[in-house]
Structure 1
Amino acid sequence: MNIKKLYHFLNFVCVGVFMYSCQLANRDRIEAKPSRYQVNFNQDWLFTYNPSEIIDTDLLSNEIKDSTWLNVGLPHTWSTYETTGEIHPFIASASERDDSYWFNGWGYYKKSFQIDADLEKKQLSLEFDGVQKYCRIYLNGNFIGDHKGGYTSFYVPISKHVKFNKENILTVAVSNKMSDPYRIPPMTAGNWNIYGGIYRDVRLSVKNTINIPYQGSYKHEGGTFITTPEVSKNSATVAIKTFVQNNTESSADIELQTEVFDPNGEKIKQITSDVTISKDTIIGIQETIDKIENPMLWSVDYPHLYKAVSRVLSNGKQVDSLVTTFGIRHFHWDYDTNDFYLNGEKINIRGTNRHQEYPYVGDAMPKEWTKQDILDIKVNLGHNFMRYAHYPNDPYVYELSDSLGIITVEEVPNIKNLNFSEEVQQQNVIEMIRRDRNHPSIMFWSMGNETNNAADSKWAVAEDTTRIIHLRKGENAGDFIDHDSDNLDLEQLLRVTVRGWEIDKDVPEGINPNPKDGQWAGTEKWQHDLAIVRDGSVRGILGDNCMTWLYNDHGADREYKQAPLLHTNPKGWVDYFRYPKYVYHLTQALYTNIPTIFIQPDTWRSQFLGEAKTITVNSNCDSLALYSGREKIGFKYPDSTSFYVNRFEKVKVKNEDLLAIGWKNGKKYEHKLPMTSEIKSLRLIPEKTMVDNSLSQVTLVEVKGYDAHGNEVLHASPDLKWSISGEGSLVTPETYISDINLIETKNGLGYTVLPIKAMVRSSGKSGKITLKVESPGLESGTCSIETQARENERSLGVIQNKIEGNYISKIKKQSNWFVKSDRLEEIEKVRENVQFPKGLEKKTYQQSLKKLILERNPNLSPATSESKGMQVFVDLNAENIYRLKGVLIADDFNFLLESFYDYRSVERFLENQNLHPKYVQTMKEYLVNKIMKEGMVMSPKDLQFLNNLDENKIDYLDMRFTSDPNKIGNYYRRTIDKSLRVWSNDLKKGLVTAFPELKKYKAEQWNDYLITVKTYNPFVKEAVFPDAQMLLVPIPNLEN
């Protein structure tokens, strides 16, 4: 994009935002109570956490105990340091295996509000943009709905449960269990962090009973669906389907008025449709606008946006209206050349991926920071293509993609070979597509990534036939996959890189700074240099038709070799706090026309004074000169064939400033790199000095270090001590100690060198926040931030009750709930991909892999090497190797290895119990499938009920399940030691056959008895039984 185009689209965005703001302002002035409106419900919430896996009914009641609850604002998560106290920028215990405390319990949110009686005939609902990952919603103690999945939006009707003119208590119970009973993707995959909580916006929606229903529900249609079936430069046809529902007690005659406005705000078309809607019905009204002359097409350089305004009238009065933004464009993939065409023009794909995560707030990051990310990606890095990996993002993200011109892939969170629920997968696909189908930037729906259990593409096609259906790598996605990694690999140039490790001398002693494999941590220069060597990094080379992995470092249940901090994925172009790495400047110079000059600072340091060094400058200027003080070092003409990488050889390092001057289009640009001395002082720079006082407000404060001459020192890593006073609290830890010399630790800050940032949360009150940072021997830094009250929103009949009372300031972990995983990790992880010969049979890959494991782990015990778990572990990996034509992916091997360790721990536990061999074998068969094939996280603590069995009160029932009526009821008593064998087609009937005395049990006795049986035998909960099951059952005791 050239500067002129950049100006045009940024100007377009600003004008569009201004016009929309004015429309909202005018609407608020004109309408006392509009036909539909929404009330922001992000403030005045209480939160608490209970580690029990069973919902605490006391916490669902309307009674609120001050000593239990914490006052919070949304978005909110309980998974970060602010709640857990674990020192880590993301999640220190990133899986249930490390510590299940913050995963297996429930988070409880409460809010109090009142609604005027004059809204009693309105249709009221609560809209949630994202709750991670399963929630149950209660109003005034009554259950009113639930939702499965943490990334799609949903709503819950509340009209029938509201007490008008009285206090209403809303409670949302949230579970973030990874191995959850509903098998909600991504389950235990661990490729990215799962942050429990209500981490996106919540609204109260008020509508009339005849309305345009919620758009994005899997239960019913809603909103609009706008397509452009015929598009050319000269004309376009727009098809608009608007859904209208009638929730009255009789049929209704309605009029639908649809107006279309062009990107300049001019009304260009209007259509009116008259229809009759039966009661309790939703209908779709199809309208077509033919021949929009000379349409302003949506493109990556000129993202023109149209608006459709849908108005519903009943008896001549407007009862609802909806504004839908859309774009006119056409696109296709050329499968012969593997090129993408937009509006007939070939697009040089310059793409990346991004995770919705920020240090210390996780996925509950403010929208303002999200906007900064997307602007950085588009404007400063020149990307025109994006996968928001690996899940539906906040709706706001796709609005930004629309307005900025970013071609987008939206993906459901199916990843790794796990037994995801088919029901939940289908729900995720439907909710994703229905919610986001009108975004012109979205041109690909993705059914998952690196999984043999992808979402079925038929669900996507049933909803939308206008997009390309993608699956990067995977299986079982049905018959409608159009596109995969052979067409465009969405993950290229993977390198684990630590900001602050700029060159070899920055890494700890004994560490290889330039490892061969991209899954080992290395330096910024290593990442930079290999990005411009074909397949120097994992897959590809920086250039056209390239999708880099990824924009930002993020948290994950991954442990990369040599990395200072585990449970992170530091492969980003920017680090956790969005500080650029060297490769960022390389990409900017190559992909944008922004005049770029960046002197890589790694060699211009006092430690190298007098030495001859190579100075590297990333610059896309027409010409470039480098100066050391007043001495001219050299002159270059940067060009794209060298990726605008300019190297000045054998430059003597002097105690002078280094200055690069470039000229582009006749204008002069420069970058100065001072020769700094020791750090002497710290300075704080807040991103804002006047902020909202709400508990949702989180403000970034940057700390920089300076020498005695006022020059910023880039390589310092002093210990930092933070203190705060006034109307705010620290979101980040009070003490920062650099991770730069740490190796593979599970606790750290993600802080290597200055500059770095802290975060401050407003208290909910107006006033001043004062923040101070200190370090031994350095001049401290201070700053002040003023907090002001939020602008009062008009209540429009809805009053949100303020939080008053002495609530707690911190959720404290209950030490008696702490359970640390105790696993024997007997097999070394694979740190690099392994290439076996191509084209072999699966059996041969099994044998080769088993041999490799034994060679690399010579001390592996026979009990482990010959276990059932090892057999399944080898089989699953061999299937992946076979599918990938001989390649063993290190990440896949290590992911399965975690499940293998889980299984071996419970397998050993079972073998050490005094249990019947057939029962042990049955449990092993069940658990090896649940843990290793379906991804359930389990440990011996989950089998503690077997520890203290009374042998005199249990029996073993060898139950043969059959549909043969001639076999039902036959049984053989004591055919094997301490065992009963019975044929049955029903568990209860089989038990009665074995123990006739059970016929005397009453219903409540039966219920208790079956609960005990199912506790001892978790496999009996399955719908389909194997041919035979060895059950452990309690002998009936009618006396008790």
Structure 2
Amino acid sequence: MNKFKNLMFTCAVLLSSIITGQKSPSVKLNFNHDWKFSKINAATSSDEALSKTEFDDSKWLEVSLPHTANIEPLVVNDQWQGICWYRKEFEIASANKNKKVFIELEGAMNRAQVWINGKLAADHLGGYMPVVIDATDFVKIGQSNTIAVKLDNTDNPVSGPKPLKILDFNMYGGLYRDAWISYKDRIYISNPMLANKKAGGGVFVTFPKVATDESEVAIKTDIVNETSTSQDIECVQTIYLKGKKVAENKTISNGLAATKSVELNALIRINNAKLWSPTDPNLYQLETKVVVDGKLKDLEMTTFGIRSLQFKDNQLYVNGEKMFLRGVNRHQEYPFIGYALSDNAQYRDAKKIKEAGFNCIRLSHYPQSPAFLAACDELGIFVVDAILGWQYYADTDAFRNFCYNAATDLIRRDRNHPSVVSWEVSLNETKMPIFFMEELNKRVHEEYPGSQAFSSGWMPEVYDIYFQSRQHRIIHGNENHADKPYFVSEYGDWEYYSSNGGLNQDKMPKGLRLEKSSRHLRAEGEKALVQQAYNLQESHNDNLATGVMGDGYWVMYDYNRGYHDEIESSGIMDIFRLPKFGYDFYASQKSPKEVVVLKIASYWNADSNLDVKVFSNCDQVELFLNGKSVASQKPDVDKNTTKISHAPFTFKIPSFQAGELKAVGYIDGKEVKKVSVKTPEAPHKLKIWFDESGKKPQSNVNDVIFVYIAAVDKNGTVVPAFDKKIDFSIKGDAEVMNVGPITAEAGIATALVRIGTKRGKITFQAASSTLKGSSCLKPAK
């Protein structure tokens, strides 16, 4: 066992016992490092040979997880599909003799077959839910072991959705999330996936009573006895808030028979409870200890948030207070590496969404990373948690059962996340039979009994919440949602692109460009991006006029599409997470008590609009041109400002004059913020910075970060016209993941960089003709 593995072992033990000071016999270790990888020609390979312990994988690529099966170009219109294999040798220390051994692969696309020491241990279909294996009977204690994973990401009629060539997003491949190996005593808390119990298995936390003076926390714990004798079990559960103990409970089960399990129920009251909501996301930690004869047998930590959801007049109330869900959709991909984001990158994505002013994310159209949901718990963002589905229904029992089981597993995986506001157990934009929807809806309420689970779907029947996109409301009207809560699942894009395209996007003209489209790359310039922002304002205002409980703009980040040879560009940030003016519109909808927003939507060059938009949540803005006041005015008043929280300010400037536009924002007559933009001059140097978004770049975790290289003039203003190739190099333990040249778009080029295992300084250098720039960082441990 190398030094890294020893360190991980030590850290895991410390984490499991950091609150109690007791050493738990249960250990959960990161299993991401020291894998071998190869793409395989299925016609000339043998599963039997590749899965054997003695197979020679010395020429395979050494990789760490998360890992994508194929590094793709920036525009992905011919994504790799096929067979790939991962292999890993690992030792299990003799100290783990008689322990239970579990292995979990959080994301394995799409069919995963797993061999341990040459024996088939799992055959799992579905690339978004974890593969959880009881490996106890497959591993050898005190010896070397081999795990071999065969992945097949080709189109599958059982899991769906549409074949990639006509699919409107990409599913990529590989072991693209974290992997874990756990050791447990023979008396242990079960895994909810393996326990396979309705509303059971593992630790399940609910809240019969939610109030600030006193809340009730109901805890169901499934404990397994795999010893050869009956056991008397103590389950001690302690609740902490920011490391301070607030409540404790002990439950006893006498005479738990050998090879049997028991579900223990506890009810703990918390006085002066700190509730969870998007505006105040308080999180508690539940420590569950299993004790037998005074000895600690298992210890598990569960993070939860106390909150209640209720609908009155089809409006959402969170902890008794009415709340509108200002939402956005998200695909989980990065350029080049597809789905293989680090946990830190998942957090950074969530942080940007929160900072953009959203309090809800629709996880379209599949289950996303546990790390992303944990970030939403921490930051205070509701999520609509979805099963995989998009324009595909197979009239077979195999397909239907796959969907039913996917819904069940989704809830078992994510039920303790306070961020989950609804379970979208629906096949997006797919005609589904009533009996199919009824079974999916039934699964939600079986797996999460009580009043705090809400199903949602894109058809008006059956589900608790009706999801409808704005373009369908425009075509069909809103008569279908009068009897239930109504959420606009998508808006701001398709209705400005081709609202009569129906469900056949792949048949649309690929070069379609409409004047009013919301699909604009940053390279298309200021006027196009202002048009996009206007569309968002118009459509969001329209949604608010219909009595909806919330809406979800399509989409947060630009993304690739399986069938198309262009990036889908309706994102308010591009695929490199650089903002467009639409981002500023949404940010301006936040309360100024949270943050004052003031943004001039102009590059202020000779091609700029003379009607200058300023996005702000101030109540008055004064605009200056070269030191002279253009006007001081209140927010716009027109048909598209009637419902939004903060209308933009439009200033009419008679003619273009090079120089500086400065905006000064006022609230209650007091100056609170000022910003300016200057006419770009000739490029002077290259400026380099990198994206942190709440998480510093980190070594030894396969972290990936965006490094931005901007051409700036002598005033530090980005030069949007600069579109040259950048020569980019790195000194230190990191690598560039880009495919092809790194070229500036609207003045900024982006390199996707993977941080290595060492913690030393990393230096970035960039050059383009006579322009140069450099920067450095030191990754966190």
Structure 2 residue 378 is matched with structure 1 residue 403: yes
Alignment of 1:667-816 (within 5 A): 667-687=671-691, 692-694=698-700, 696-724=702-730, 727-737=733-743, 752-762=745-755, 764=757, 769-775=762-768, 777-784=769-776
Counterpart-to-counterpart distance in 2, 1:228 and 1:192: 37
Deviation at 1:259, TM superposition (A): 2.5
The change in CA–CA distance for 1:597 and 1:331 in structure 2 (over 3 A counts) is: same
Q: Which amino acid aligns with 1:644?
A: A
Q: Deviations over 1:601-634 (max 9, x none)?
A: 24x11457xxx82222112223222112222221
Secondary structure in structure 2 of the residue aligned to 1:426: helix
Residue aligning to 1:491: 490
Residue aligning to 2:391: 416
Residue aligning to 1:345: 321
Alignment of 1:418-567 (within 5 A): 418-419=393-394, 421-448=399-426, 449-453=428-432, 456-466=440-450, 467-474=452-459, 481=464, 483-485=466-468, 486=481, 487-494=486-493, 514-515=514-515, 523-534=528-539, 545-559=550-564, 566=566
Of 618, 624, 643, which residue of structure 2 is paired with 1:627? Answer: 624
Q: Deviations over 1:715-743 (max 9, x none)?
A: 32112233445543320135135xxxxxx
Residue aligning to 1:44: 34
Residue aligning to 1:967: none
Counterpart-to-counterpart distance in 1, 2:755 and 2:213: 53
Q: What fraction of aligned residue pairs are identical, expressed as a percent?
A: 26
Secondary structure in structure 1 of the residue aligned to 2:307: coil
Counterpart-to-counterpart distance in 1, 2:366 and 2:114: 23
Deviation at 1:600, TM superposition (A): 1.4
Structure 2 residue 291 is matched with structure 1 residue 313: yes
The change in CA–CA distance for 1:324 and 1:186 in structure 2 (over 3 A counts) is: farther
Deviation at 1:577, TM superposition (A): 1.1
Counterpart-to-counterpart distance in 1, 2:546 and 2:569: 19
Deviation at 1:413, TM superposition (A): 0.7
Counterpart-to-counterpart distance in 2, 1:252 and 1:30: 23
Residue aligning to 1:80: 71
Worse overlay, 482-491 or 23-32: 23-32
Alignment of 1:134-213 (within 5 A): 134-179=111-156, 182-185=158-161, 188=164, 190-213=167-190
Residue aligning to 1:132: 109
Aligned residues of 1:627 and 1:659 also touching (Cα < 8 A): yes
The change in CA–CA distance for 1:555 and 1:228 in structure 2 (over 3 A counts) is: same
Q: Which amino acid aligns with 1:417?
A: Y
Q: Which amino acid aligns with 2:602?
A: P
Residue aligning to 1:618: 615
Aligned residues of 1:497 and 1:572 also touching (Cα < 8 A): no
Please give the TM-score of this superposition, normalised by the length of structure 1. 0.63
Q: Which amino acid aligns with 2:350?
A: I
Aligned residues of 1:470 and 1:484 also touching (Cα < 8 A): no
Deviation at 1:704, TM superposition (A): 0.6
Deviation at 1:444, TM superposition (A): 1.2
Deviation at 1:252, TM superposition (A): 1.7
Counterpart-to-counterpart distance in 1, 2:666 and 2:211: 40
Q: Deviations over 1:996-1015 (max 9, x none)?
A: xxxxxxxxxxxxxxxxxxxx
Larger radius of gyration: 1
Counterpart-to-counterpart distance in 2, 1:31 and 1:733: 49
Q: Deviations over 1:2-41 (max 9, x none)?
A: xxxxxxxxxxxxxxxxxxx999569369879522111111
Residue aligning to 2:508: none
Please give the TM-score of this superposition, normalised by the length of structure 2. 0.83
Aligned residues of 1:493 and 1:538 also touching (Cα < 8 A): no
Deviation at 1:524, TM superposition (A): 1.4
Deviation at 1:159, TM superposition (A): 2.0
Counterpart-to-counterpart distance in 2, 1:651 and 1:715: 24
Counterpart-to-counterpart distance in 2, 1:27 and 1:616: 55
Higher strand fraction (1 or 2) = 2
Secondary structure in structure 2 of the residue aligned to 1:374: helix
The change in CA–CA distance for 1:667 and 1:457 in structure 2 (over 3 A counts) is: same
- What is the root-mean-square deviation in Å for CA atoms of aligned residues? 3.4
Aligned residues of 2:457 and 2:463 also touching (Cα < 8 A): no
Instruction: Give unmatched runs, 5+ long, in structure 1.
Output: 1-20, 82-86, 95-101, 499-510, 560-564, 738-750, 791-1040
Alignment of 1:757-906 (within 5 A): 757-762=750-755, 764=757, 769-775=762-768, 777-784=769-776
Deviation at 1:570, TM superposition (A): 1.8
Higher helix fraction (1 or 2) = 1
Residue aligning to 2:223: 244
The change in CA–CA distance for 1:27 and 1:219 in structure 2 (over 3 A counts) is: closer
Secondary structure in structure 2 of the residue aligned to 1:160: coil
Structure 2 residue 366 is matched with structure 1 residue 391: yes
Counterpart-to-counterpart distance in 2, 1:444 and 1:629: 51
Q: Deviations over 1:835-865 (max 9, x none)?
A: xxxxxxxxxxxxxxxxxxxxxxxxxxxxxxx
Of 360, 378, 382, which residue of structure 1 is paired with 2:336? Answer: 360
Alignment of 1:562-641 (within 5 A): 566=566, 568-593=567-592, 594-602=595-603, 604-606=604-606, 613-638=610-635, 641=642
Q: Deviations over 1:359-400 (max 9, x none)?
A: 12221112222212212222x222222222222222222222
Secondary structure in structure 2 of the residue aligned to 1:434: helix
The change in CA–CA distance for 1:184 and 1:320 in structure 2 (over 3 A counts) is: farther
Aligned residues of 2:488 and 2:543 also touching (Cα < 8 A): no
The change in CA–CA distance for 1:330 and 1:457 in structure 2 (over 3 A counts) is: same
Q: Deviations over 1:49-83 (max 9, x none)?
A: 114267543322334546641111110011332xx
Deviation at 1:589, TM superposition (A): 1.0
Of 74, 78, 93, which residue of structure 1 is paired with 2:78? Answer: 93
Secondary structure in structure 2 of the residue aligned to 1:679: coil
Aligned residues of 2:488 and 2:550 also touching (Cα < 8 A): no
Counterpart-to-counterpart distance in 2, 1:120 and 1:22: 18
Deviation at 1:496, TM superposition (A): 9.5
Q: Which amino acid aligns with 2:626?
A: G
The change in CA–CA distance for 1:496 and 1:533 in structure 2 (over 3 A counts) is: closer
Aligned residues of 1:61 and 1:140 also touching (Cα < 8 A): yes
Counterpart-to-counterpart distance in 2, 1:298 and 1:599: 35
Worse overlay, 654-663 or 522-531: 522-531
Residue aligning to 1:27: 17
Residue aligning to 1:819: none
The change in CA–CA distance for 1:217 and 1:540 in structure 2 (over 3 A counts) is: farther
Aligned residues of 2:458 and 2:466 also touching (Cα < 8 A): no
Aligned residues of 2:345 and 2:703 also touching (Cα < 8 A): no
